[in-house]
Chains A and B, each alone.
Chain A
């Protein structure tokens, strides 16, 4: 993943200005910064929901700057959303199956005539979705509608759906929002486990330092669309500019974490 000097502005406000990123495979990057710093805009740019005014985005050896979202997803970038966006009226398992279907090109005729190949494929999709749900501890709810899940389960289901698309790069937008310390700890363990099991590169947006600091190998700090700092968690915690812009004094860090 390589991002070269992208900028975008909305009606005169620079949401991202001259942003750079170089992320090696299998790394975990944390993006932090105050609200409105441009973090989610960055996600929307990478996943193709919005186009940058200038700059280039490369993934693997291809430039994906102007690709459509579904094509970027098929290339291997999946995401979760800050405000949970599930397919509410689909069942939990169908939410995941929709993810599993990616890169398949089933013919409509095989569905109409219910060919053996069609049935095999449906069973395969269902099995892999079920496996994924059990990793997330959601297998018992698999036939409920997604909207009936608890908040924490919905967050997990979103990540499960993103993983179902077998991404190389997983982008998670504030997964710990609204979670208590106990749930946050479980989430931390889960992400670490997923990372190894699925060999993932991860970009994480998160305010909760209890998740960011132990998880991320590199942290970027954004403020008013500008990249203020980049470094290891230890370096970031020491950086006077970061402390000034975002973290505040030591006590603030502690309170952010809770």
Chain B
């Protein structure tokens, strides 16, 4: 198929998507808007995890640590000055009077997460497999402990509240589209090929001139950047950040979303994040109706187990969406 036509389809699909976003933000009720926002944030988290874990093959359990960093950066930047002065006495004075909007907060959140990923990655990425998993989990714990105890900057366990609710569907959906696009482009570039080559066979990749530690670090840092942005969006959506929010539950959730979608497939991550967000909301409604609290987690776990048993490669494996395949099923013009 001609590539110009494919681009045309893509733009039309994007147009429809943003039309949907417009309708939801103009006419949707608060609940649906909130679910939509969460869905987009999960898409960002899952797609960026897939870059470092699925595509690059780093077994990372510390991804949510970068989300925490992003969330705290955004929270500190967007917190009203009065509260900042009262709570965050550890900040330098010039920061007390500053209150940024969402865009600078997002970008700085992503950047700081990326810088931390760079520094942590230099050390951790020497390890592989289970060792990397344990080390990245260690990183997550360290982030949480710091958030809990650095009272004058994070306000400890009480967390930072009264954050302005800047986040809306336009921000989250745009950030999600940008994340998907960026990861997709990387996947289809020499860098992406190198990443998969290193994942498939480290030594063979080095024998054709790939600097394996460097490409791993690159994937890790880019992944952390987008995860940090998701953290910022989350902070200004929920309005509160506290250390417990960014811990094992979210870590497991995005890993499950990635695995079920298919490790290495951007398409799979998107489908899976969207599907699981809806599933979790439905289950919560069900749980409230029958008043058996906690049952949604059990059902969620069963769905995951069935998936692992009957389709271990996930929904998409490592294949991707293409208009060519859509055309085989639906006759497009």
A and B pair up: yes
Closest to A114 in B: B185
Pair B212/A70 contact, Cβ less than 8 Å: yes
| Cβ of A96 to closest chain B Cβ, rounded Å | 10
User: Is B253 interfacial (CB-CB < 8 Å)?
Assistant: no
A86 to B205, CA, bound (A): 9
Our pick among B186, B191, B196, B207 for the contact of A73 (Cβ within 8 Å) is B207
Residues of A within 8 A of B197 (CB): 87, 90, 95, 98
Chain A, interface size: which category?
35 or more
Pair A102/B208 contact, Cβ less than 8 Å: yes
Residues of A within 8 A of B205 (CB): 87, 98
| Cβ of B51 to closest chain A Cβ, rounded Å | 12
User: Is B190 interfacial (CB-CB < 8 Å)?
Assistant: yes
User: Is A7 interfacial (CB-CB < 8 Å)?
Assistant: no
The verdict on A161 contacting B208 (CB below 8 Å), with A101-B194, A108-B186, A111-B185 known, is: yes
Pair B189/A85 contact, Cβ less than 8 Å: no
| Cβ of B111 to closest chain A Cβ, rounded Å | 15
User: Is B6 interfacial (CB-CB < 8 Å)?
Assistant: no
Our pick among B189, B207, B264 for the contact of A162 (Cβ within 8 Å) is B207
Closest to B212 in A: A70
Chain B, interface size: which category?
20 to 34
Pair A118/B203 contact, Cβ less than 8 Å: no
Pair A106/B208 contact, Cβ less than 8 Å: no
A247 to B188, CA, bound (A): 50
Pair B209/A102 contact, Cβ less than 8 Å: yes
A162 to B212, CA, bound (A): 17
| Cβ of B232 to closest chain A Cβ, rounded Å | 21
Pair A73/B200 contact, Cβ less than 8 Å: no
Pair A111/B191 contact, Cβ less than 8 Å: yes
Pair B189/A70 contact, Cβ less than 8 Å: no
User: Is A69 interfacial (CB-CB < 8 Å)?
Assistant: yes
The verdict on A104 contacting B190 (CB below 8 Å), with A78-B208, A99-B208, A164-B208 known, is: yes
Residues of B within 8 A of A70 (CB): 206, 209-212
Pair A90/B196 contact, Cβ less than 8 Å: yes
User: Is B318 interfacial (CB-CB < 8 Å)?
Assistant: yes
User: Is A224 interfacial (CB-CB < 8 Å)?
Assistant: no
User: Is A103 interfacial (CB-CB < 8 Å)?
Assistant: yes
Closest to B264 in A: A89
A95 to B190, CA, bound (A): 12
| Cβ of B190 to closest chain A Cβ, rounded Å | 5
Residues of A within 8 A of B299 (CB): none
| Cβ of A128 to closest chain B Cβ, rounded Å | 13
Pair A108/B191 contact, Cβ less than 8 Å: yes
User: Is A32 interfacial (CB-CB < 8 Å)?
Assistant: no
User: Is B145 interfacial (CB-CB < 8 Å)?
Assistant: no
Scoring B194, B197, B318 by chain A CB atoms within 10 A of each residue's CB, the highest score goes to B197
**In residues 184-241 of chain B, which contact A (Cβ within 8 Å)?**
185-186, 188-191, 193-194, 196-197, 200-201, 203-212, 218
Pair B196/A112 contact, Cβ less than 8 Å: no
Residues of B within 8 A of A74 (CB): 209
Residues of A within 8 A of B193 (CB): 90, 94, 97-98, 101
Pair B204/A87 contact, Cβ less than 8 Å: yes
User: Is B182 interfacial (CB-CB < 8 Å)?
Assistant: yes
A243 to B243, CA, bound (A): 72
Our pick among A79, A90, A121 for the contact of B200 (Cβ within 8 Å) is A90
A79 to B205, CA, bound (A): 11
A162 to B194, CA, bound (A): 15
Residues of A within 8 A of B182 (CB): 112
User: Is A132 interfacial (CB-CB < 8 Å)?
Assistant: no
A165 to B208, CA, bound (A): 6
**In residues 37-78 of chain A, which contact B (Cβ within 8 Å)?**
47, 49, 68-70, 73-74, 78
Pair B203/A85 contact, Cβ less than 8 Å: yes
**In residues 92-127 of chain A, which contact B (Cβ within 8 Å)?**
94-95, 97-99, 101-104, 106, 108, 111-112, 114, 118, 121, 125
A28 to B20, CA, bound (A): 66
A97 to B211, CA, bound (A): 16
| Cβ of A74 to closest chain B Cβ, rounded Å | 5
19 examples of A-B residue contacts, CB within 8 angstroms: A49-B206, A68-B206, A69-B206, A70-B211, A70-B212, A81-B204, A81-B207, A85-B201, A86-B200, A87-B197, A87-B201, A87-B205, A88-B200, A104-B190, A106-B189, A108-B191, A114-B185, A118-B189, A125-B190
